Amino acid sequence: MSDKIAVYPGSYDPLTNGHIDIIERGLKIFDRITVAALKNPSKTYLLSLDERLEIIRETFAQNNRIEVDYFEGLLVDYLNKRKITTVVRGLRAISDFDIEFQMALINRSIAPQIETIFFVPSVAYSFLSSKLVKEIYLLGGEIKQMVPDIVDKKLKQKFKQESLSISQI
């Protein structure tokens, strides 16, 4: 019998405790999860692809059930190439549902074998997004309870090296 494998795609700019919560929930159902960071040349990221992958790898270094990868282009092409048919997504609010529902239907229309499983996060993370974390950090707020330690360290390094404004996130 083969492993039940799912892909959890996202930009992870940066990885948050909400993402980790969804991954942990997914591991209750799936044998393995591939956390796949999106590389989209038309999108501006705060963290480079290498930095995002490094953060994810370090966060899950002790868990051999989690693979870290990246993809460009259509998610369904990546899934087909990897022979994976299940996508994991998190839903925080009604606005997430609208967007995620559309994406799930589009993916299924392109590749009918693709299924999307939605997870609702813990209440503690139901408000959390990468964009919000970046805004809070840039405005001088504390994010330690929202992100893994490596993200806090990486952002401190990044902001020390670069002069960034909220318009860049």
Residues 11-26: tens digit of each pLDDT: 999 999 999 999 999 9
User: Is CATH 3.40.50.620 what the domain over 5-168 is classified as, yes or no?
Assistant: yes
CA angle 101, 84, 8 (to 5 degrees): 50
Please give the structure tokens belonging to residue 128: 């959390």
Cα separation, 152 vs 87, whole angstroms? 28
Pair 119, 88: CB distance under 8 Å = yes
**From 19, 89, 134, 154, the catalytic residue:** 19
pLDDT of residue 148: 96
Q: Which residues contact 23 (CB under 8 A, 6 or more apart)?
A: 8, 33, 35, 60, 66, 88
pLDDT of residue 50: 97
19 is catalytic: yes
92 is catalytic: yes
Residues 97-148: tens digit of each pLDDT: 999 999 999 999 999 999 999 999 999 898 899 999 999 988 889 999 999 9
158 is catalytic: no
Q: Which DSSP category does 125 fall into?
A: G
pLDDT of residue 100: 93
Residues 52-109: tens digit of each pLDDT: 999 999 999 999 999 999 999 999 999 999 999 999 999 988 778 999 999 999 999 9
**From 39, 57, 65, 92, the catalytic residue:** 92
**Which DSSP string corresponds to 36-73?**
EEE--TTS--SS-HHHHHHHHHHHTTT-TTEEEEEE-S
Quote the pTM value. Answer: 0.91
Q: Is 18 left (phi over 0), alpha (psi -120 to 50) or beta?
A: alpha
**From 2, 28, 42, 43, the catalytic residue:** 43
- What are the extents of the domains in the chain? 5-168
**From 25, 89, 130, 154, the catalytic residue:** 130
